[in-house]
Amino acid sequence: MKIRAAVAAVVSTLVLTTSWLLGGGPAGAAGYVRGPDPTAATFQQGPFTVASFTVANAATPGFGAATIYYPTPLDGTYGGVAIVPGFTGTQAAVAWLGPRLASNGFVVITLDTNSPFDQPAARGTELLAALDYLTGTSAVHANVDASRLAVMGHSMGGGGALEAAKTRPSLKATVDLSPWNTDRTWPEIVSPSLVVGAEKDTTAPVATYAIPMYTGMTSAPEKAYLELNEGTHSTVTAPNTAVATATVSWVKRFLDGDTRYSAFLCPGPTASQTGAVSQYLNTCPI
């Protein structure tokens, strides 16, 4: 009996270790916990080294040229994120988010659109095509968990992310950066959604776009609205600590089920007219 008990203990240890190495966290633990406990430094550079490669326009089905960022060494599977720019923009406008997210344990594809003038609905379709490519035929598809996917976008790309989530309700999260769309109400959204607005945005004023979109997500199980103090429409296209903290925390929480990041979302940043965030709304608990 003692020998059987010892063998059972060894097998149990092997199962736990294998699960952890494959990226699933300890057996029996919720989510896909990876890496050390998050600190403020985590949102500047995560615990993973990042590699990337480009994909030519001719090789991408349904969208333009793209860049894929991924953590190294690729060990097990990771959540996947697709990010699209706004009207007339290229993937360079959202490129900083690629390595920032990948260094925290995600495979990320930033993409150009078929036309720089594509409207939000087309950008939503292109986001979904990028996710299908990422999980289906890309060079890293075996390391992307097709059940843990998110979409992000800036401006019309943010509106496109909402269109994608409306079309594919199985998405685990959306992040909508200074979003623009003729549709201001989104009761169809059932994915946890983070909306980021900018106080001085004159292209997509928050009172007309971001705030009504956030308010209109009446079916979203969790949602948050972050407003950047003195921010403009292009503020999110450059590295920004407040945006990185909220974005990384959002995808870690809802793609990985990592509750260690909840503290950065609920109660979240303190809003003030002198700090980085002028307004923060959420549906705590997250």
In a domain, 22, yes or no: no
Q: Which among 125, 24, 134 is positioned nearest to 70, based on CA atoms?
A: 134
Q: What angle do CA 183, 270, 95 make, to 5 degrees?
A: 55
Annotated catalytic residue within 118, 145, 233, 278: 233
Q: Which among 36, 65, 71 is positioned nearest to 51, based on CA atoms?
A: 71
Whether 115 is catalytic is: no
Interatomic CA distance for residues 95 and 85, integer angstroms: 9
Whether 233 is catalytic is: yes
In a domain, 200, yes or no: yes
Residue 267 dihedral angles phi and psi, to the nearest 5°: -80, -10
Whether 19 is catalytic is: no
Task: List per-residue pLDDT tens for the chain, 286 residues long.
Answer: 434 443 333 333 333 333 333 333 333 335 699 889 999 999 999 999 999 999 999 999 999 999 999 999 998 999 999 999 999 999 999 999 999 999 999 999 999 999 999 999 999 999 999 999 999 999 999 999 999 999 999 999 999 999 999 999 999 999 999 999 999 999 999 999 999 999 999 999 999 999 999 999 999 999 999 999 999 999 999 999 999 999 999 999 999 999 999 999 999 999 999 999 999 999 998 7
pLDDT given for residue 34 in this prediction: 87
Sign for the pseudo-dihedral over CA of 226, 238, 116, 114: negative
In a domain, 28, yes or no: no
Q: What is the CATH number of the domain that holds 213?
A: 3.40.50.1820
In a domain, 5, yes or no: no
In a domain, 32, yes or no: no
At 7, which amino acid appears? Answer: V
Find out whether 194 and 245 touch, Cβ atoms under 8 Å. Answer: no
pLDDT given for residue 285 in this prediction: 82
- Helix intervals (H) in 91-201: 97-102, 120-136, 156-167
Containing H/E element for 173? Answer: strand 173-177
Domain that holds residue 159: 47-282
Annotated catalytic residue within 112, 201, 256, 258: 201
Annotated catalytic residue within 103, 118, 154, 155: 155
Count the Cβ atoms, other than its own, within 10 Å of residue 144. 25
How many domains is the chain built from? 1
pLDDT given for residue 286 in this prediction: 79
pLDDT given for residue 31 in this prediction: 65
In a domain, 236, yes or no: yes
